[in-house]
Amino acid sequence: MRWRFRLISDLAVAWAGHRVLLAALIAFTAIWIAVGLSFSFPRQWFLLTNMVGTLITFFILLLVQHSQNRDMKALHTKLDELIRSSEAGNHWIAAEKKDVGAIEDMRQQHQDQIPENRA
């Protein structure tokens, strides 16, 4: 089930980010306005437009957030492996899971080790 959601999510995000979708949305908007003009824009027309727009926006937001979360987890995993295989201190591994104060302390410690004349 999880891999199906990932597959559907990846396809939806790729489709939503495709440039052909922009042209399709412009054409759909023009048709929507033309049909609305022919019916003199009844009140239900505006309610339906608002509801559909809100639902689509919410759906795309969730898909993009899911995709970004997965990408960030993969990026953090790759960075952790680079830290493990390098001469960097292992205390940097999983720094994103620490609280803000600890991250700021680690950043300040790193800044203190950089020579002043370095640009």
Q: What pLDDT shows up at residue 116?
A: 65
Task: Give tens-digit pLDDT for 43-52.
Answer: 888 888 899 9
Q: What pLDDT shows up at residue 90?
A: 75
Q: Is residue 91 situated within a structural domain?
A: yes
Q: What pLDDT shows up at residue 31?
A: 93
Q: Is residue 118 situated within a structural domain?
A: no
Specify the long-range contacts of residues 59-67, CB closer than 8 Å, at least 24 apart.
60/16, 63/9, 63/12, 63/13, 63/16, 64/13, 64/16, 66/9, 67/9, 67/10, 67/13
Q: What pLDDT shows up at residue 30?
A: 93
Domain count, the chain: 1
Q: Is residue 6 situated within a structural domain?
A: yes
Question: Quick one: which of 63, 62, 61, 58 has its CA closest to 7?
Answer: 63
Q: Is residue 88 situated within a structural domain?
A: yes
Q: What is the 3-state secondary structure (H, E, C) of the chain?
A: CHHHHHHHHHHHHHHHCCHHHHHHHHHHHHHHHHHHHHCCCCHHHHHHHHHHHHHHHHHHHHHHHHHHHHHHHHHHHHHHHHHHHCCCCHHHCCHHHCCHHHHHHHHHHHHHHCCCCCC
Full residue range of the structural domain in which residue 31 is found = 2-113
Q: Within the chain, which residues score under 70 in pLDDT?
A: 1, 114-119
